[in-house]
Amino acid sequence: MARPTGKVTLEDVAAEAGVSLATADRVVNKRAGVREKTAARVNEAVLKLGYRPDIAAARLARNRSFRFAFILPVGDNTFMTQLTEQVGVTAAWLAGQRAFIDTLHVDVFDPDVIGRTLERLPRYYDGVAVVALDHPRVRAAIDDLTARGTTVVTLVSDVPNSRRFHYVGIDNPAAGRTAGTLMGRFLGGKKGKIGIVAGSLALRDHAERYFGFNQVIAGEFPKLEILAPVEGRDERARSEAVTKRLLAKHPDLVGIYSVGAGNRGIASAIESAGRSADLLWIAHELTAYTRRFLLLGTLDAVIGQNAGHEARSAGRVLLAQCSGERIVPDQETIGIDIFVRGNIPAEPAFAAPVETRGLAVAGSAGR
Amino acid sequence: MARPTGKVTLEDVAAEAGVSLATADRVVNKRAGVREKTAARVNEAVLKLGYRPDIAAARLARNRSFRFAFILPVGDNTFMTQLTEQVGVTAAWLAGQRAFIDTLHVDVFDPDVIGRTLERLPRYYDGVAVVALDHPRVRAAIDDLTARGTTVVTLVSDVPNSRRFHYVGIDNPAAGRTAGTLMGRFLGGKKGKIGIVAGSLALRDHAERYFGFNQVIAGEFPKLEILAPVEGRDERARSEAVTKRLLAKHPDLVGIYSVGAGNRGIASAIESAGRSADLLWIAHELTAYTRRFLLLGTLDAVIGQNAGHEARSAGRVLLAQCSGERIVPDQETIGIDIFVRGNIPAEPAFAAPVETRGLAVAGSAGR
DNA sequence: GTGAAAGCGCTAACAC
DNA sequence: GTGTTAGCGCTTTCAC
C-alpha cells in the first residue's frame, strides 16, 4: 500500500493542462489575460488532480509583510490588562507570519483623543484594531482609514455604522439578556428591585447590555423592578460609592447587575452592607477579583469574553484580509462565556503564556 | 519616516555573526555540531537584530507532509454529526498546510472494535485523533501507537491513563458541576428529587459529568435528592422509555439532568407527562433540537462544547506536534459553553461553512 | 496570451 | 565544525 501523499503542485497542474506554470498560476489566482479555453483546461486539471495551493509557498513567494496598530485603553481595568497581555502574545505569533503589531494606549473614554489617534495614524499601517467609542468623530476617522485602504477592525466595543471591516467581540445585547435570564431564574420568582451599576451608558457595550437585560426582565420576570442605572465610570472608588448609596436607599434590593468594571468597589459595598449572602450579584469579565468573589459566593455569575480569543481573532482577521486569505467564520465568532461556581477555570484566569523570545512586541506609538 | 518592516532573515543574522547561513541555522534550531563560542556569537546577533524565523519558509524548505486519521463514532447522534462536519472543514484547511485527514467511523461503544481499529492503523499515519472509550484494550492500543511514534490525541472523551499526547475536549467533571450549580440555583431552595438520564455510565465522560453533578448537589443543595441514574444508551426511543418510567414512578420529581444524548426522547416523555413548564431540565450539546426545546422553555439550560473548536484544535495540535512547532496552550483549551434562553446563537447552531473546493475531504478507511 | 526564469527564507545534503 | 549549494512551491517580472 503506497503512501498517498496528496501532494499535487501547480507544476503538475500545468503539465496536465499542457500549459506553463505561469499560466496555471494566472488561472488559479483568477488573474486576467488567459483565453477562456486555456483557463478551462487548467481548471479541469485542478479538479482532476485535486490540487490545493500550498499556503506556505504562496506566502513566501509573495514576500509581503504587514504592519498593524492595536489601539487599546490606558488604565488599570483588569480585563483590559488581560487584553493587552494577549495582544502581546498575538504579536509574538504574528511576527512569525510576517506581520508586526504596534500597541498604542489611549484614553478610550475621550472621543477626541481616540479620533485624533486614528486620524494621525501613520500610513504605513496596513491594518488597525481599535477598542472604539461609538462617536461621530471616531466613526469618521474609521471611515477615512477604510477609504484610504487601511483595514479597520473594532475590538470589544463596536462602531456599527462605520465602514469598519469587522467587529471582534461579543454580542452585547445577548450578554445582557443572558444576565437577565440568570438573574430572573436564580431569584426563582422572588419579588423585588434590581440595581444596575454601569461604567457609563455612553459606552455602547454598556448600553447594549443594559438594553438586553431590561428586555428579558421586563418581558419574562414581571415581579422584578429595574431601578434607574447608576454610573461608576469603571472606577473602583466611584463604583463603591454609587453602590453604597443604592443599597442604603433600597433596603428591598434583591439583585445587582454590574454592567461594566469597578467590581472590587461593588464587592466592598455589598460586603459592608452585610448583603454578601443574600443579594444576587451578576457581573462581567472573569478576572482574579471576580473569580475570588465567585468562589466566596458574593458574586453569583460572571458573563465573560475571552481576551485571548479576541486578540488572536483580531490578528487573524487583519492578516487574512490584508493578504487575501480566507478565514473560518466560525472561528472568529466570539462567544459569551458564563461562569458560575461549578466551572471556574483553574488559576490564573486566562493568564498569558508569554513567550516573546527577546522580541520587543509592543513598539512605541510614532515609530 | 521610513517604514520599518521588521524583516530580518537568517542570512542577516549569519552576516552579523560572521558565519555562514548553515551555521546560523544550526544554532537557531539547536542542532549539534557548533562550537560554544560560535553559537554565542550567533545568539547575540539574533537578539541584536530581533530575528524571528519565517514559518512559511521553514515549512516550505522542510517539505514534509503529514497524514492523520480521525476516528469518529458511527450513528446519528446529532452532536457527533456536527463534529464530523467540522472535521471536514478542518480537513479542507489542513490540506493547505500539507496535512491530510482520513475520517473513519466506528462503533465507539465497543472497546474491541475501536481497539482493533487502532491496532490495525496503517503505519503511514503520523497522527490520530480518536473519540475514545476508556477501556484497557483501547488504552493498550493507544500506548502502542505512541510507542511506535504515532501522535495520538483523544477527542471529546479521554483515556487519562494512556500515553496519548493530548486530550481535546471539555473538563467533564466541571461540566457536571456546572449543571449541578445551575440546577440547584434555578430550583431556588425547592425540595425534591432529581432524575439522571445518562447514555451509559461506562462512558467516561458521562460518568464524570454525573460525578461532578452529584458533588455539587450533595454538597450545596441538601434539599435535593438525586435518584439512581437510568441509562438511555444515547438513543431516542430508549431514552424516552426510561424517562417515562422515571416520571411515572416519581411524581415529586423536580428536575432531570440529561448527561448524554437522546434528548428528543426525553423531551417527548416530559411533554406527554405534561411537565414541560414546571420540570427543570438540563441537558448537554446545542443541536437543532436542544435549541428548539430551549426556546420553548421545556429545556432550561444546555451545557455545550464547540465541535468546530474541538476539530480545529485536534488538527492544530497534531500538526504542531508532528512538525515541531509551538502551540498557544490557551487556544487549545476547550471551554464549557452554557446556553440559556438569553444567549442562544442564531440558527443554524454552529453549522459548517463548508468550502471544500472540490476536494474529497473524507478519505475512506483503508486507503 | 503565454512562457522562462529569478527569487522568497529556510532546510538538508554534502563538501571541505 | 563550518561552508556551499540545490531545492521546497509559488509569485512576479520580463520576453516573446
Separation of alpha carbons B97 and B91, rounded Å: 10
Cα separations in angstroms, B124 against A31, B30, B366: 38, 28, 11
Q: Minimal CA–CA distance to A284: which of A268, A260, A306, A308? A: A260
CA B151 to C1' D8 (Å) is 25
Q: Does B215 touch chain A (CB under 8 A)?
A: no
Separation of alpha carbons A14 and A46, rounded Å: 9
Q: Does B4 touch chain A (CB under 8 A)?
A: yes
CB contact under 8 A, B342 and A53: no
Nearest CB to B124: which of A3, A67, A186?
A3
Grid cell locating A31: 488573474
Chain A residues 134-193 with CB within 8 Å of chain B: 171, 174-182, 185-190
pLDDT in tens, B126-146: 999 999 999 999 999 999 999
CA A340 to C1' C14 (Å) is 62
pLDDT in tens, B228-264: 999 999 999 999 999 999 999 999 999 999 999 999 9
b/e per residue, B118-131, with b = 16+ CB within 10 A?
A: beebeeebbbbbbb
Chain A residues near residue B5 by CB distance under 8 angstroms? 65, 67, 100
Sorted by where each starts, the structural domains of chain A and their CATH numbers stand as 10-53 (1.10.260.40), 66-170+307-334+346-360 (3.40.50.2300), 172-304 (3.40.50.2300)
Q: What is the DSSP letter of B363?
A: B
Cβ contacts of residue B192 below 8 Å, gap of 6+? B223, B224, B225, B252, B253, B254, B255
- In chain B, whose CA is at the least distance from the CA of A4? B367
Collapsing DSSP to helix, strand or coil, A257 comes out as strand
Largest CA distance in chain A: 84
Number of residues that make up chain B: 367
High-pLDDT (> 90) share of chain B, %: 85
With cut-offs at 50, 70 and 90, classify the pLDDT of residue B102. very high
CB contact under 8 A, B352 and A360: no
Query: Kind and range of the H or E element at B212?
Result: helix B204-220
Strand order in the sheet with B127-130: B99-106, B66-73, B127-130, B151-155, B166-168
Q: Minimal CA–CA distance to A130: which of A67, A70, A170, A202? A: A70
With cut-offs at 50, 70 and 90, classify the pLDDT of residue B6. low
Separation of alpha carbons B287 and B350, rounded Å: 8
Position B192 pLDDT exceeds 70? yes
pLDDT in tens, A26-41: 999 999 999 999 999 9
pLDDT of amino acid A343:
92
Average pLDDT for B78-106: 95
Greater pLDDT, B286 or B75: B286
Query: Kind and range of the H or E element at B254?
Result: strand B253-258
Position B79 pLDDT exceeds 80? yes
pLDDT of amino acid B7:
82
Residue A20 CB in 7 A reach of strand D: no
CA B24 to C1' D4 (Å) is 14
Chain B residues near residue A338 by CB distance under 8 angstroms? 338, 340, 343
With cut-offs at 50, 70 and 90, classify the pLDDT of residue B367. very low
Average pLDDT for B80-99: 95
Residue B45 CB in 7 A reach of strand D: no
CB contact under 8 A, B328 and A93: yes
CA B279 to C1' C11 (Å) is 64
Position B353 pLDDT exceeds 70? no
Of chain A, the end-to-end C-alpha distance in Å amounts to 58
pLDDT of amino acid B166:
97
C-alpha atoms less than 13 angstroms from C-alpha of B355 in its C-beta half-sphere? 9
For chain A, which residues score pLDDT lower than 50? 1-4, 349-367
Q: Which of A324-328, B145-149, B319-323 has the lowest mean pLDDT?
A: A324-328
Q: Say what the pTM is.
A: 0.91
CA A352 to C1' C10 (Å) is 29
Nearest CB to A53: which of B47, B96, B178?
B96
pLDDT of amino acid A353:
37
Q: Does A23 touch chain B (CB under 8 A)?
A: no
Query: Kind and range of the H or E element at A312?
Result: helix A307-323
Report chain D positions within 7 A of protein CB atoms.
1-5, 7-13
Position B359 pLDDT exceeds 50? no
Average pLDDT for B56-85: 93
pLDDT of amino acid A4:
47
Separation of alpha carbons A241 and A318, rounded Å: 41
Position B5 pLDDT exceeds 80? no
Cα separations in angstroms, B101 against A246, B64, B68, B127: 59, 15, 5, 9
pLDDT of amino acid A301:
98
Q: Does B337 touch chain A (CB under 8 A)?
A: yes
Separation of alpha carbons B227 and B193, rounded Å: 7
Number of residues that make up chain A: 367
pLDDT of amino acid A349:
43
